[in-house]
Amino acid sequence: MKTKKFAEMTTEELVKTKKISKGVTYAFVILLILLLGANVFLVLKKGFGPLQIIPFTLLPLLFLNFYNLKQIKKELKSREN
């Protein structure tokens, strides 16, 4: 499936994409917080292991999701004027 650029999408598609992206991003934030909490618990209980870096490697995905949301909002705002 080829993804469209935000400028090529209709307003309805953008609103739908924004709604879905927002839900996914906030779910990802909650899961990442839970993962970090479990990570801290495991480090205190058993010591540091190589799998403790996973939450930190997922942070760029979170930033990318927030960036895409910002771009969608910007495109929707530009269409209002």
Q: Is residue 2 part of a domain?
A: no
Does 49 fall in a domain? Answer: yes
Is 3 a member of any domain?
A: no
Within a domain: residue 81? Answer: yes
Decide: 21 and 72 in contact? Cβ < 8 Å.
Answer: yes
Give the per-residue pLDDT at 57: 93
Residues spanned by the domain of 50: 28-81
Query: Could you give the number of structural domains in the chain?
Result: 1
State the Cα–Cα distance between residues 21 and 13, nearest whole angstrom. Answer: 12
Count the alpha carbons within 13 Å of 25 in the hemisphere toward its beta carbon: 17
In this prediction, residue 2 has a pLDDT band, given cuts at 50, 70 and 90, of low
Q: How far is CA 60 from CA 14, 29, 57, 78, in A?
A: 23, 12, 7, 27
Within a domain: residue 20? no
Over residues 9-45, the pLDDT tens digits come to 889 999 999 999 999 999 999 999 999 999 999 999 9
For residue 50, the model assigns a pLDDT of 86
